[in-house]
Amino acid sequence: MKWFLLGGLVFLLVFISPMGLMAEDYLSEADALYNQGGMENYKRAIDLYLKALEANPNDYEANWKCARAYRDHGEEVKKQNVEGWKDICARYGKDGMKYAQKAIEQGPNKPDGYYYYGLNVGIYSDGVSILTALAEGLKNKTQSSFEKAYELDKMYDDAGPILALGRFRAVVPWPADPPYL
């Protein structure tokens, strides 16, 4: 029995602990690239966030930061009018929504996941059109995500939830537009 316990401890120290350290290394390296900005740095940051999530899939911070990088990469692709930008925005927006949703599940009382979920729907909509996003039922989820981010911290990301709600109300076409406060 002692050998079994000792073997289990050695396994944890040799194989599991380094995975957590690797995830932290990937996360800090991804953050550095993200902070430099630019389309290529966002893309490289995404790859590193994904590696961090391979090591620790339930890492709240890695999930919301991955969602943020997907959104910002899509935004840069659109701004630079990269060939095939609509397809890229649709794919990156959809992937970003997935990681934001995971962040929401892991941190339901934090604004990051809600905020980046809505922003990724915006990038997705740029790629597929607002009407397609509405037809897919994303309006209510987007509105409630921005409202929840506002409720949790309206000054998050330099008043991002306030601006996002205003932009959302301006972009969603009648008759699907939300009622005004």
Give the CA count within 13 Å in the CB-facing half-sphere of 63.
24
Distance, CA of 137 to CA of 157 (rounded, Å): 26
Cβ–Cβ under 8 Å, residues 45 and 34: yes
Tell me the percentage of the chain whose pLDDT exceeds 90. 77
Tens digits of residue pLDDT in 23-78: 689 999 999 999 999 999 999 999 999 999 999 999 999 999 999 999 999 999 99
Q: Is residue 171 very low, low, confident or very high in pLDDT (cuts 50, 70, 90)?
A: confident
Q: Return the ∠ at Cα 30 (arms to 82 and 75), rounded to 5°.
A: 25
Backbone angles phi, psi at 120, to 5 degrees: -70, -35
**Higher-confidence position of 45 and 179:** 45
Say if residue 12's pLDDT is above 60: no
Question: Domain residue spans in the chain?
Answer: 2-171
Say if residue 15's pLDDT is above 80: no
Cβ–Cβ under 8 Å, residues 146 and 103: no
Q: Is residue 11 very low, low, confident or very high in pLDDT (cuts 50, 70, 90)?
A: low
Q: Name which CATH class applies to 2-171.
A: mainly alpha
Q: What is the pTM of this model?
A: 0.84
3-state DSSP percent of the chain in helix, strand and coil, to 5: 85, 0, 15
Which residue in 66, 122, 51, 64 sits closest to 93, CA to CA? 122
Say if residue 123's pLDDT is above 60: yes
SS3 readout for 20-34: HHHHHHHHHHHHHHH
Task: Output the pLDDT for position 17.
Answer: 45
**Higher-confidence position of 22 and 56:** 56
Say if residue 177's pLDDT is above 80: no
Q: Is residue 134 very low, low, confident or very high in pLDDT (cuts 50, 70, 90)?
A: confident
Say if residue 122's pLDDT is above 70: yes
Cβ–Cβ under 8 Å, residues 115 and 145: yes
Cβ–Cβ under 8 Å, residues 110 and 87: no
Distance, CA of 30 to CA of 73 (rounded, Å): 13
